[in-house]
Each structure stands twice: as structure tokens, then as C-alpha cells.
Amino acid sequence: MEVTGSYLRQGRNTSPNPVQIITSREIQQTGITNVGDFLQRMPSIGSGGLGSADTNGGDGVGCVDLRNLGSSRVLVLVDGKRLTQTGMSGSSCVDMNTIPVMAIQSIEILKDGGSELYGADAVSGVINIKMRHNINTGGINVRGDITQRGDNRTGLISGYKGFNFDHDRGNITVMGQYDTVGGVMMKDRAWSRNPQTSNGMNPAFGSIISTSGTVFSPDGVPLYNGNSAGGSSPYSKSSRYNYNKDSSLLTNTQNASLMGDAHYDFSKHFTLYSNVMYSHKTSWTQMAPIPAMGSVAPSDLPSTIYLPTGYPGNTAGDIYNDPNNPPYMYRRMSEFGNRKSESAVDSLTAKVGASGEIIAGWMYDASFTFGSTMSTFQTSGVGDYNKLMREWGLEAVTPGDSNSLLTYNPNSCVGYAGCVQSSALGPLSPQKQQNTPTIPSMITRSTPCVISTPASTMITLCTCPTKAVVISVSPWVWNIVVSR
């Protein structure tokens, strides 16, 4: 058994570093539909990047992390050669889910630092995926799974066909795979249904918001007037919003991938080979309505929201408000609806190279790899914080200071078209909801701006045009290896 790196070829018994080898049969016996989910089951694999179990807008990317040192510190190779990194949602890693499961022959995991052999990007280890070549048959695989609760439906259909030609000197293989993973909501599991540490008045499906004795539903609809005289009551966890009931536990993903592989042996001194992989992936996830609780850096808007003394309907403010330490307000903007994140990612990797024997056991392998990623992300249910504060009549005493105290201005909407002042203690009208639009979709595009020669040395050759947001920084990779 040999472990192949970017620079050298060495036998497994020449290094004391721990190497784990996983065969294709072991992978298929688990019933998984993508490589990223399989590797997450390994004890040496950390949390990785945003995956299907991330509920904060994860896009299903399969970044791998060895020993929790970060996915950017893991070197991922395919047939001993480096891949371009996938630019998705700010991540900088190789997306393992773009590699068809059926195309894998074995996976080699070097679970110790390999920077002395592979470079600084292999601090936590190396993962080398060996692909299947010289396939002279065909096959189709269909698989489906479902939980006993009837959710998380998983399906996979894949096929391959390969044939030799010119007396087995050449081979062409084509593989395709389509897999889908259904999502799961947090409310559908008892252990994730309620984020609170103790039971409240209604622990599974909501909370109460009390203003002057009036109780509202989580959607802001008045339910009953329990105490027309108004007043206040001690804080308890039953007053909080159960955001888990509206949030995804697992992301919905769909992935279609296609791979083509070809080689031709002209002689023992010259073999020409090429490989192309294309993947189109979509994902969808949901979170509870966005909370109105302040801005985050670097915004200069107020970092906390509270109702100052004198705010209409704030009877508790006269009792508890301290100008230097006021109570905060937490409100779920259910009028905006649940936050929904959708992503679509197209990835293309193409490789061409030549290998052979130079003389007397000296071998060479030179290849060129091109990678491109086009990602589209769309998030709905996120309002305009500045307009919302204006409609509530809240202003900073010191504009531009995020730590400033707040004051109530009954004329905050004067001069702003479409602004209709309302109370933070009641629901927003449809007209006011339209004045706080959600954010539009964002497009990220990788651009060929970097060439690597050799594979660990980055040389910037041009300036990336800013068409939207450029994520990927290494779509071009040269690999030149001479060894014996």
C-alpha cells in the first residue's frame, strides 16, 4: 500500500505517522450519500465547516477538520494532487460533497501533521482520495432511507460506465450521481423541541408577551386582557420565545454531480490523462423570526434595545429603568416570517496532466488543475433595523455611538416617506412590514486570479474584478513531481 503526496511517493511503512485507509466497500456499507457525512463519523474528524447539521444558514458544504484545528489546516488531495478550494459563504476549504461516492476507490487519512512533507496547509493532517480508474464495466445503484418518524428522507441514484480501447492502452469512464437529503425540524424531536433549561407556561410551542395586562400570541395577536390595570411581574423563563419550534435541525440538500475520466498510454515514458468533475448543489434551511435586540459591530446603531421611561405603554419603565443600566427588550419579529436561507452552488474542476518514466526508475508527473465556483445565497425574513427603530420612535441620545442610551421621539417618522410610527409593544401592520424590506440575494463568484507553482507557493498574477463577492483565491493549481 502506498500513500501518495504532492511532492513524493513513499511506502506506507516508511513513515511512523498514523495513516488510516478506508476502502470503497466500507464507505458504501454505511449507506451515506456523500463523502462529507461519512468523514464526520470518524473519531479523528472535528466539527468541520458548515454542514447539514448547522441551523444558522448552513449551505451543506462538506469541509473536513482533523482534530479541530480548522478546515483550512487540512490538505485534501485527489489522486495525490491538490484541489482548488471552494468559495462558499466565506469558507475556504475543499467541498468533499462534490466528489461522487461511487467514483472513490479508497480514502487515506494521515492523522498527524504533514507540514514537513506537504507544506504549511497540512498542519493537522492530509486526506488523499484515490479515484477509480480503468473501469471496463457499468452499473447503477439506487438507495433510499427514511427515519421511523417519517422524515429525513434520503435518496441516491448513481451510475457509471467505462470502456477500454486500442488494446487496453486507453480508457474512458463516465460517472453520475444524484442524492437528496430531507431536512428535520427541531420541534419534531423531544430533545431539541425546547431550548430552555426548565419548563415554562407552554414549553413546546411558544411564549407570552405581557403589556399592561394584555397577553399576545407569538405572532403578536392579542389573546385576552387579564389585568386592565396593568403592572409588572418578575421575569421567568416562561416569558421567553421558543425559537426552536421554527428552526431546522437538519438542512435540506440536493446534489447532482458528474465526472469524466480518461487516459491513454502512448508509451511507458508518456501517459496523458484528464479528469473533469461538475457539481450542482442546492440547500434550504429555516430559522425562527429574527430577534430585535440590537446591532452588532461594526454597525454604529444602538447595540441594545430597551424602552426608555415615558415610552407609551411602558409601565415597568417607571419602576425599573436606571439611566445607567436600563432593562433590555427582546422581541421576535414574527411579522417578517421565519428566516429562510437558500443556496445554489455550481462547482467545476478540470485536470489534465502527463506522467511516465524518465530513466532508470525516475518518474515524473506534471498536471494542471482549474477550478471554478459560482454560489448564490438568498436570505429572507431579515428586516431593516434602522427603519424599524424609526417606526418605534426610538433614537440614540448620541447618534453614531452604538453604546448610546435611547430616547423616545414621537416625531421620528416626520420627513420619511412610508414611515408610520407604531409601538414596539404591539404587532406591525402590513404597511409597516413593507417599509422594513428583507435583504436581497447575494452572489459569490470565484475568479481565476492565482497560479501555484509549485503547489504550496502562491503567486498573484492579476487583480480580481469585483463583480459581486469573490471568495475563491486559488482556482489554478500546477503540480509538478519528479521522484524515484
Delineate the domains of the chain, giving CATH numbers in brackets.
2-185+249-287+340-380+442-483 (2.170.130.10)
**219: helix, coil or strand?**
coil
Band (260; pLDDT cuts 50, 70, 90): very high
Helix (H) / strand (E) element for 38: namely helix 35-39
Residue 212 has pLDDT above 50, yes or no: no
Q: What was the pLDDT predicted at 206?
A: 38
pTM for the model stands at 0.72
Q: What was the pLDDT predicted at 167?
A: 92
Residue 406 has pLDDT above 80, yes or no: yes
Band (25; pLDDT cuts 50, 70, 90): confident
- Alpha-carbon distance 344 to 339, whole Å? 17
47 in Cβ contact with 124 (< 8 Å): no
Band (147; pLDDT cuts 50, 70, 90): confident
State the DSSP code for 462: S
Chain position carrying cell 421575569 = 235
**368: helix, coil or strand?**
strand
13-27, 267-281, 469-483 — which is least confidently predicted? 469-483
Closest CA to 355 of 177, 466, 480: 480
Q: What was the pLDDT predicted at 13?
A: 45
Chain position carrying cell 471568495 = 471
State the DSSP code for 86: E
Residues 6+ apart with CB under 8 A from 415: none
Name residue 392's amino acid: W
Q: Looking at residues 237-254, what average pLDDT do you find?
A: 80
Q: Within a 10 A sphere around the Cβ of 446, how many other Cβ atoms?
A: 24
Residue 1 has pLDDT above 60, yes or no: no
Do the bridges between strand 9-11 and strand 2-4 make them parallel or antiparallel, or are there none, so unpaired?
antiparallel
Q: Looking at residues 411-437, what average pLDDT do you find?
A: 75
Closest CA to 372 of 446, 473, 451: 446
How long a stretch of residues is the chain?
484
81 in Cβ contact with 479 (< 8 Å): yes
Residue 164 has pLDDT above 70, yes or no: yes
